[in-house]
Each structure stands twice: as structure tokens, then as C-alpha cells.
Amino acid sequence: MGLYLGALLVSIAGLVVLDLRLRLFLFAAPARAAAVLAAGVVGFLAWDAAGVGLGIFFEGPSGLLVGIDLAPEVPLEVLFFLILLCLTAMHAFLLAQRLLDPVRRDLPAARRLAPAASGERP
């Protein structure tokens, strides 16, 4: 069916729109974000490969998957889940950093979340 992949893609699209609006990660520094995202996904794929090799992770029967495997016991959806996981982690970290920034702390919440204009500090 591919329902799970569809849900992952909708979720990733929502995070990209949020990122575009707040210039958090992908749209703040695209090259650096791509490198960090790739490193996170590759690291988690290596972790998954180790888990599959040890028999910890396996692909159970499910009608929600598209049926394409990247490797034995690693469905295509894992790649998109890891992208979602890494994007969510970076967004959470950067949002927290913005909200806790002592220079921006005296601003209203809406202004703290807005991206700083061309590197200037309020």
C-alpha cells in the first residue's frame, strides 16, 4: 500500500515548510545542513545494519510498506524515517537554542522564533 511512506513524506514536507518559515536548519545554511543530515542518516543506517546483522532488527509482515528493500530486512521506509528523525532532532535543538538565547530572551516569543535578520542580533 505505501501508507507509511506517504505519512513519512507528508511529515517531512511539513518540517521543510516549518524550516522554510523559520530558517532553522535546511534554509539557514543549506550546505552545512545537508552534510549534518547526511551524516546523521548514514550513522543511523550503519546502526540499523549492525542491528540487522545481530538479529535485533528485522522486517515483519506489513501491508503498510511499499515492498522495496534497500538491503535485506531494511525497507525503503527506513531511509525516510531516518530523514524525519534527523530533521526533527535538528529542529528541536535549534528551536530550543533560539528560545534560550540570552540575547533574544527579552523578546516576545514570536520574535524569538523568527530568524535573525542577516545575522544581526536584536
Domain boundaries, the chain: 3-106
pLDDT of residue 122: 47
Nine cell digits for residue 12: 517531512
> 57 and 77 in contact (C-beta within 8 Å)?
no
The C-alpha cell 516576545 sits at 108
Instruction: For residue 62, give the DSSP letter.
Output: -
Give the pLDDT confidence of 44-93 residue by residue, as tens digits.
Answer: 999 999 999 998 988 878 888 888 888 888 899 999 999 999 999 999 99
Nine cell digits for residue 100: 534560550
Query: Which range among 27-36, 92-101, 107-116 shows the weakest confidence by mean pLDDT?
Result: 107-116
The letter for the amino acid at 29 is A
Q: Alpha-carbon torsion 68, 74, 76, 77, what sign?
A: positive
pLDDT of residue 62: 82
Cα separation, 103 vs 105, whole angstroms: 6
The letter for the amino acid at 50 is A
Give the pLDDT confidence of 23-37 residue by residue, as tens digits.
Answer: 889 998 999 999 999
